[in-house]
Structure 1
Amino acid sequence: MAGENQTHVTEFELLDFSHGQPYLFVLFLSLYLATLLGNLAILALVFLDPHLHSPMYFLLSHLSCLDICYSSVTVPKILANALRPRATISYRGCLAQMFFLMACAGAECALLAVMAYDRYAAICQPLRYAHAMSWGVCVVAASGCWLWGMLDSAVHTVLASQLSFCGAARLQHIFCDVPPLLRITCSNTLPSEVALHAASVFVGLSPFLLVVVSYLRILVSILRMPVATSRRKAFSTCSAHLLVVALYFVTANLNYNRPSSGYSPVAGTVVSAMYCIVTPMLNPLIYSLRNQEVRRALQKVVQRWAMLLSPGSNA
C-alpha cells in the first residue's frame, strides 16, 4: 500500500534557513536584483535603439526575458521563506513552480542552440546570413523554443502530479523540482526517471552539442582571420560564451541526473543556484554588455538621460 495519497498533501517543507539566514537572504536578494537590472537593461536597449533591431539582439532579448522568468520563478519564494521560521510551499504552488522552472530550462537550452547557430551563420556564412536568419525564421525559432520548453515541462509536471507521498513531505531543496520529489515519493518513480533521462538527451545534451559544434566551426573561421587583433577579440567573445553555456548545461545536467546515493542537500542547493540563479545574472554581462554595439547604445541612453536631468537642459 502506498500510504498517504498525494491529494492529502497540502504543503511541502523546504530546506531550513535558520543557519546563516540573514547572509543567505542578502546573497539571494543581491543576485536577484543584479539579474533583474542587467536583463531589463538589455530589453530596454534593444527596444529603444534601432541599431539593435537585428536577429542577434532579437534572440538576446528573448534570453533576457527567459532569465527574468527563470529567477522570478524561484528567488522570490526563497526570499520569503528566508524570513519565515519554516520554509514551506503549497502543493499546488510546488507543481506550478516546477512547471515554470522546467519550461524556462527547456526553452533556454533550445534558445542557446539557436543563438549559437545565429553566430555561426553570421561569421561562417555571411552571404547566406540574411536568408538563414530572416525575421520570419527568428520569430518561428524563438516561439518554438518557448513552446518546446512548455511541452517538456508539461510532461514532467503531469507525471509529478500522479506521485503519492508517505509521512512528512520534506523536500531537501530550496525550491520545488522533480528530483527532490522523487526522493520522498512512495510511488513508482520509473516513468518520471525515464522522462528525465529522455529530456536530458533531447532537451539538454542535443542543444549543447549543437552549441559546441557551432562554436568549434566559428573558432576554425577565427583562426583563419588574417589580423591577430580580430582573432583575439573574436576568440575572447566565443570563449566567454562557451564558458557560460558550459556552466549552465553542466550544472543543469548534474541537477537532473545526480545519483541518488550520497546526495548532499548543500551540494544540491549550490548546483541548483548555479544554473537557475547565477547563470541568468551572468548572461547579460557575457552576451550583451561585452558587446561594443550594446555599450555604445548604453552610452547614448545614459547621455540622453543626463542631458534631460541636467539643470540647464531646455528639453
Structure 2
Amino acid sequence: NSFCTLLVVPVAMPTSPSLSSTSSSTSLSVSASESESSFAASVTRIERGDDEEPEFVDGVPDELQCGICLGVAKVAHVTEECGHLYCRDCILGAFDIKKACPYCREPLTDKGIRKSVRAQREIMALTVNCGNAKHGCEETCTLSDLERHMERCQYAKIDCPLRTYGCDAVISRKVLCEHLSACPVAVRLSQGDAALEHEMAIHQRANRGQFIWKIENIQSRRGQACSPGFMAHGLKWCLRHIPAQGGVFVVPVGHNKRASFTLTIFNTNQDNDVTDFDGGWPAAKTSWGFAKFTNPERLGTPGFVVDGCATVGVVMHGLIDD
C-alpha cells in the first residue's frame, strides 16, 4: 500500500527512556524552540539559501537520524509509545497517511508525537564543517554555532557592497578590501562622480519600502519609458514616464487593483525634493499619477537632473476598495 513507500531500511533506533520520556521543564522548552530556529538557519545558510544538510565531521549517530529520510532529524520529534525519532515534517507527513509509527507500525494518536528536547540538544552539539569548506575554510564548530561562524567566515561568498550601484562581483569576504581597491563603482566614487554620489545619497535617504527608479535621458527622450516591475501588497506594479505629459504614472501589472501612493522626485539637495500624494485613484483608470510632475521648469531647476537622469521614488500605501 501507499504507506509502504514511507518505510525505510531499518537502522538502529533509540529505545532509551531519555528519548521517550515526557518530562521537560519550561526552560528546556525554550531552549528547544531556540535550537529549532538556529538549526533551520544553519541548514539554510550552508549554500547561500540551499537547504542541503550540513557536513557532520563524525557523521550522525544512528539514534539521531530520522527513521524516514535517514538524515539528521530536523526539528526532532519522537513517538511516545515506541520512542522512534523522526524529522517533524517527515513524521507528520507519514501520520497523515497512516496513524502508525513508520518503523515498527505501533499505532499512534495525534498526541503520541512530540518534540524531543534531548535529541534536539544532542543534534545541536554535533560538530560540522563550515559550509564554505569547498572554498577553503578548514574551521569546524558545533551545529549551534554554525550560523554565527558563517556570518563572519572569511571564505564566504558575498556580493560587492556597491552592487546596488552597478557592481555585480561576487567575492570571498577575505578579499573584500582588495576588490574595493579596483571595483569600478568605487573608482568612480574616488574620482568624484557626481551622478553616482547623487544616486547613493538618494538610496541612503529613501523611505523603507520605497521603489527607486532612475529615468535616463529624461530631457531628450521623446518616447515613453517604463520602470522594472516592483512588488507591493503582494501585487506587481511599475512606473511609466510619458514625456509629452511630463508625467509619472503608477501602472498595475497583471491585475486591476488600485492603491494610494506617494511619488517623489529627488533633488541633490534633500530639502528641495518634491513629493505628491494621491489617495483617490479613479475606478475607471488603468493607471494613475501626476501630469507635469517632470515638467520642463522643474527639470530645469538645479539638482533634479544629474548626468541626464532624474530619479523618482514611489511608496505604495493601502489598496483602494472597489
Same fold (TM over 0.5): no
TM-score normalised over the length of structure 1: 0.24
Higher strand fraction (1 or 2):
2
TM-score by length of 2: 0.24
- Greater gyration radius: 2
Q: Which has the higher helix share?
A: 1
